[in-house]
Amino acid sequence: MLGVENFNGSGELFRTYSPVTLSHDWPKLARLLLMLFCSSFGSTMNGFFIASFFVEHTLRKFGNVFLACVGLADFLITTGMTPVSAVVILSGQWDIVPVCKVLQCVGLTSTYCYSIYFAFVAVENYYRICRPQEEYALFLSMRIDIICLLIFVLSATLSGVGVYLDLDYDYCEREHYGDFVFRISTTVMFQAIPAILTITCLFTASTRVKRRARQQIKYKRSQLYEREYSITAINITAYLLYIIAWTPYVVVVHEFPNTSDSVYYNTITIGLFRSALTSSLYGIFNRSFRRAYGHLFNYCCCKSSLSGSFSNRHRRALEYKSTIGDVRVHIMHQAITTGNQQRAVSCLRETQEL
């Protein structure tokens, strides 16, 4: 099952692919740079994505909590897995099973959370676009914060149980396939049902937006249409990217469980590295996220506060108003002074005539 080779003719069996530090045939520096890039770039973009919901007023809505949690799920991989892999590469260790199991738990938790959170994002998108406002308000009346916390706790618990009780696939050593019932149950609960729900809701919402745009010219020319179409399209793109990235692993682990280490771990690497790219798509194709990313980049690199962009945008208007106010005060002061002088001259003339 494992990819092995005869090392230096000594007869020692040696794994050519590490589940933590990628292929041993690749240069160490290349693997380190790849991990550092994915960690730094992914963590930055995912951090910008999460912070956007606090910076941009159009995103500061209660229904966007699930979308923010999607970013947290990706953030868990880019800040919890790839940095550890980079540290392991620098330490010179190879196939440390305890560390590998911790990383497997983190990866499974993130994947479970991402799938379920995105299902709630799709449902929220469907209710906001396709259902009456009363039903959408009823959906938002749920304890969204409690639901998000329960999803994370359930995902972390089941991933830990699967890894440490040998109920899930042995990612680190590939010595067993786990318990069939447990694996099927988690696949159906965390992957199949959320995938069907997500795809149905997102494509239904997209169809509704396009149909309404064809029927109502005023709606098509409005900013509401641009926001709804943009966020629906980018959600569909992000979820399809998630499916495409993880499909090779699903096919390999179920149809070809005895495949080589390189094929098996490369399919997982594709799915994990996706988390470093998805958040950047929102910043590229959505105006609200692009504006929020711009404010955050401006704050991190150029400004001392987030109000700097607001001040620059409105400085001329404020200076113009201030100038007008000064002119008005000056004119009023001049008019009062002139009036007083005229009354003084008039009184003087009257005194002289008397």
Strands 12-15 and 4-7: antiparallel
d(CA 331, CA 163): 80
pLDDT tens, per residue, the chain with 354 residues: 344 333 333 333 346 788 888 888 888 899 999 999 999 999 999 999 999 999 998 898 888 999 999 999 999 999 989 999 888 888 876 667 888 999 999 999 999 999 999 999 999 999 999 999 999 999 999 889 999 999 999 999 999 999 999 999 999 888 888 999 999 999 999 999 999 999 999 999 999 999 999 999 999 999 899 999 999 999 999 999 999 999 999 899 888 888 888 899 999 999 989 999 999 999 999 999 999 999 898 888 776 555 444 444 444 444 444 444 444 444 444 544 545 555 444 443 433 333
pLDDT at 147: 95
pTM of the model: 0.81
pLDDT at 16: 75
CA neighbor of 288 nearest in space, from 229, 227, 239, 222: 227
CA neighbor of 89 nearest in space, from 38, 24, 43: 24
Contact 40, 276 (CB under 8 A): no
CA neighbor of 186 nearest in space, from 156, 159, 166: 159
Contact 292, 52 (CB under 8 A): yes
Chain centroid to Cα 173, Å, comes to 31
Count of CA atoms in the C-beta half-sphere (13 A) of 189: 13
Q: Is 13 helix (H, G, I), strand (E, B) or coil?
A: strand
Q: Is 165 helix (H, G, I), strand (E, B) or coil?
A: coil
pLDDT at 234: 95
d(CA 320, CA 314): 10
Q: Is the dihedral of CA 274, 92, 100, 171 positive or negative?
A: positive
